[in-house]
A and B are shown apart, each in its own frame.
Chain A
Amino acid sequence: GQQVMQIPQYQHVQEGEDFTTYCNSSTTLSNIQWYKQRPGGHPVFLIQLVKSGEVKKQKRLTFQFGEAKKNSSLHITATQTTDVGTYFCARLGNDYKLSFGAGTTVTVRA
């Protein structure tokens, strides 16, 4: 199926620093969803973006959908230990297949 590519695969962050993870597609996306999976847990929905150039914030997390609707980013400011986990982006296809990227696994150095 059509995939979304996530970079980087791993992100090691000093507590208090900012970082960004990216999600890219070769085709135009109707929407993009972001999920977080804590170690040992299951993915939990964070946000959905549908409009070109859309920006949404959840506390220290900022999600953006590109103008061409081919990429998305998640920016976390002032990283905390609670941010540890794997962040996935996912695209919804016309056939209702939800395809996930490989994820960015975040570890935090205290």
Chain B
Amino acid sequence: DGGITQSPKYLFRKEGQNVTLSCEQNLNHDAMYWYRQDPGQGLRLIYYSQIVNDFQKGDIAEGYSVSREKKESFPLTVTSAQKNPTAFYLCATRTPEVGSGANVLTFGAGSRLTVL
């Protein structure tokens, strides 16, 4: 969606397994974000990256890891340390800071992870 591809769309895993969610963008945006969505709790920020080879923890980073080796890619790994991994995961890019549409997020279609 809007130049952001998240895969897989649905994922089922056994408890204790690490899972990596893919996020690829062709919007040429520097900044990328990962959010987790649970019913009734809105979107909570996991990690974000302002530029290649740099990333910062969000509000709920524990049990997650990321990498940003390429501008186009920002994969999220849900580790076995994450206590409640079942959720809807959304990746987004942020438009540059200049211009009328500055600092706006464009989201991918999301990945729904279910841990059995």
Q: Which residues of A contact B (CB under 8 A)?
A: 1, 6, 9, 31, 33, 35, 41-45, 48, 88, 90, 92, 95-103
How many interface contacts (CB-CB < 8 Å) are there between A and B? 58
For A100, what are the chain B residues with a Cβ–Cβ distance below 8 Å? 35, 42-44
Cα–Cα distance between A41 and B112 once the two chains are bound (Å): 11
B54-87 with Cβ < 8 A to chain A: 56, 58-59
For A99, what are the chain B residues with a Cβ–Cβ distance below 8 Å? 45, 59
Q: Are B103 and A103 in contact (CB under 8 A)?
A: no
Cα–Cα distance between A44 and B105 once the two chains are bound (Å): 8
Taking residues whose C-beta sits less than 8 angstroms from the other chain, chain B's interface range is 20 to 34
For B35, what are the chain A residues with a Cβ–Cβ distance below 8 Å? 100
Besides A90-B105, A98-B105, 19 new A-B residue pairs in contact (Cβ under 8 A), listed by A number: A1-B59, A33-B104, A42-B1, A42-B90, A42-B110, A48-B102, A88-B42, A92-B103, A96-B31, A96-B48, A96-B94, A96-B103, A97-B45, A98-B94, A98-B103, A99-B45, A100-B35, A100-B44, A102-B41
Q: Are B104 and A45 in contact (CB under 8 A)?
A: yes
**A30 nearest in chain B by CB position:** B103
For B43, what are the chain A residues with a Cβ–Cβ distance below 8 Å? 43, 88, 100
> What is the minimal beta-carbon distance from A68 to any residue of chain B, in angstroms?
21
Q: Are B105 and A45 in contact (CB under 8 A)?
A: yes
> What is the minimal beta-carbon distance from A12 to any residue of chain B, in angstroms?
15
